[in-house]
Chain A
Amino acid sequence: MTGLLTRLLGRLPIGWLQLFHNKTRLFAAVGGVMFANILIFMQLGFLGALRETSVLAHRTWNADIVIVSSDFQSLRTVNSLPRSRMHQALQIEGVKDVVPVYFSTINWTDPGTNQIINFRAMGVPAASAAFLDTSIQEQVRKLSEPLTALVDVETRQLDPKIVETIKSKGICEIEVKGRKMHLTGTFSQGASIDIDGTLIMSDQTFFEHFPSRSSGTPSLIFVQCESAGPDSLQPIVEALNRVFPETDVKAYTKDESVVVEHKFQTKQTPVGFVFSFGVVIGFIVGLVIVYQVLTTDVQDHLAEYATFKAIGYRQKFFSGIILEEALSLAALGFVPGMIVSLALYHLAETKTALPMEMPWSRLVLVFILTVAMCAGSGMVATKKLSHAQPADLF
């Protein structure tokens, strides 16, 4: 390694050698970088899960454009809109079909496990084509049967017995707020941070469970178009927004609605803020630890550096040494930090039913952050050397 670095740098890798000469300090520093890395990875992991799970529902929709109430911010708090907009939308050229969709939430206590599950109930007309997934779509047709619903098998804390019963008997009867509900089928979507799972039912069943809601006030309107290319969608969105009174509803393409949801979840929810804040804290913790280690190291080698300065080495040489140490620390801390984080992602995934994925872009981002963190600390640590006269350093 020393030989390789010597050839690479054109000089002895003093920073590297110095780092390995003091093993205790090396372990402390690598541990610090690793700790900061794990902190950042976990926060980004949760932030990513928050973003990804908040749009799991969107991904199942068979909609090119969605119409929402004009104060819409997120699927989490959705207000209803007048059904008449649906008919107006059908008049627009290029619109093929429209589907009214109803959303609400149900807190269901499982009598078997005493577990409270927070479901999002989604009602669609049984005859509509509201889902992209054909296996869901086929089951939706059978939901015309009163008081039936489909349940998400990936619902957080869902008793596996329920799924087994549906699989073996074709039906599982539960009671929701004093009303019977027959679970006749399953689909796979996944939990989000605030919603444990989803129940899909016909609009008629939905009204049974939520008597205050009627067919006149859907939560969302799915718009399906003749052609779904982005070039053809944008004019339709513009036409829709022109037809509707501004204060009432607005139209987004499905992709735009995903962006809106992401933005809301990361910028406007407390959870989103906490995770973003955690990333910053992780970065600062790493900065402080590396700075501490490097300044101590500069302090300890002051006499040697003074000697090097006396025999004619430039400031650049010292910055080089410290930068070399900083980058070595970044690399040595990043690899184990990443491995531990991957293990923790796996653990978090099984514990919280949140999808914890590690995209390449995040690895690159965190590595760049780590390098910046270490290099920044290193640059500050060399300050002390730059103005001193060699004789003062002895």
Chain B
Amino acid sequence: MPKKSSNEFSLVTSGLCHSFGKGAATLEVLHDIDFTMRRGELVILMGPSGSGKTTLLTLVACLRRIQKGHVQLLGQELSGASEKILTRMRQRLGFIFQAHNLHSSLTSIQNVRMGLEVHGPDALRNWQKTCGRVLELVGLGDRLDYFPAQLSGGQKQRVAVARALVGCPDIIFADEPTAALDMVTGRQVVELLRKLADQRGTSIFMVTHDHRILEYADRIVKMEDGRIIEDSSAKILMK
């Protein structure tokens, strides 16, 4: 069991392993991961393709069942947790995926509303104002009633960011959020996340290949073949 107190850390893993496939075809892709993240910290996870970054992210973000090892997320043990607990935990998280996954039948503001609706009817009071403000924050104040098909790739990704932010999550998980964006918008998105970490104490866990955004990180973790090979403060790494 992890010894560290859950007050200081928003995420603690110990001895986390994961394998895909059954029987002889079983392949372990994560080996014995020990990892922690403080509140308000922006951590960037890097590593070659296939090294297990997405698998790690989905495990600690309640999107996949834990097979072996322990994960404490916001003080809650995820290993062996019921679907009900997992669902409740997911509501405290924000997700930004590589693909925007917006609902094509909903407008921008309706898509953002979905991030609010999950918190129940109380959260929906003044929803238009709340959602509109977050969309303004990502620079889409003039695209509220556009359908995803009418938006550019970068705009869609920013709507997805707005959807992740609107519920004021405790942790944001982002899997290559800037992959589909040009440099300027990519920077804008990460700057936004950085501000959130500083002002609201939101923890940010971001998988990326993008070297241009490393300067925003508090810590950079490197993975290879399912192991963490480097875990260092960004300042040291930059030198």
Contacts and interface: CB of A to CB of B under 8 A. Distances in A.
Do A and B form a real pair?
Answer: yes
A12 B90 contact: no
Contact of A12 (B94, B99, B110): B110
A312 B101 contact: no
A27 B114 CA distance: 27
Contacts of B110: 12, 17
A18 to B, nearest CB: 5
A10 B117 CA distance: 9
Contacts of A301: 103
A312 B58 contact: no
B200 interface: no
A391 B58 contact: yes
Interface string A357-394: 00000000000000000000000000000000111001
B113 A310 contact: no
Given A10-B121, A391-B58, A311 B115 contact: yes
Contacts of B121: 10
Instruction: Say whether chain A's binding surface is mostly helix, strand, loop, or mixed.
Output: helix
A311 B114 contact: yes
Given A12-B117, A14-B105, A311 B63 contact: no
Given A312-B88, A312-B91, A304 B101 contact: yes
B90 A310 contact: yes
A308 interface: yes
Given A11-B117, A304-B101, A311 B106 contact: no
A312 B117 CA distance: 10
B63 A391 contact: yes
Contact of B114 (A12, A21, A394): A12
B233 interface: no
Interface string A20-40: 110000000000000000000
Contact of B99 (A303, A311, A390): A303
B54 to A, nearest CB: 8
Given A311-B114, A389-B64, A391-B64, A14 B101 contact: no
Contacts of B101: 303-304, 306-307, 394
Interface string A289-333: 000000000000101101111111110000000000000000000
Contacts of B232: none
A310 B90 CA distance: 6
A338 B8 CA distance: 65
A394 B97 contact: yes
Contacts of A313: 87, 118
B95 interface: yes
A314 B63 contact: no
A303 B101 CA distance: 6
Nearest to B119: A312
B188 interface: no
A2 B106 CA distance: 11
A17 B118 CA distance: 18
B19 interface: no
A11 B121 CA distance: 8
Given A18-B105, A307-B103, A311-B90, 10 more contacts: A12-B113, A12-B114, A18-B103, A20-B105, A301-B103, A304-B104, A311-B164, A311-B167, A390-B63, A394-B101
Interface of A: 10-12, 14, 17-18, 20-21, 301, 303-304, 306-314, 389-391, 394
15 contacts: A10-B121, A21-B104, A303-B99, A303-B101, A307-B95, A307-B97, A308-B114, A311-B91, A311-B93, A312-B88, A312-B90, A312-B92, A389-B65, A390-B64, A391-B58
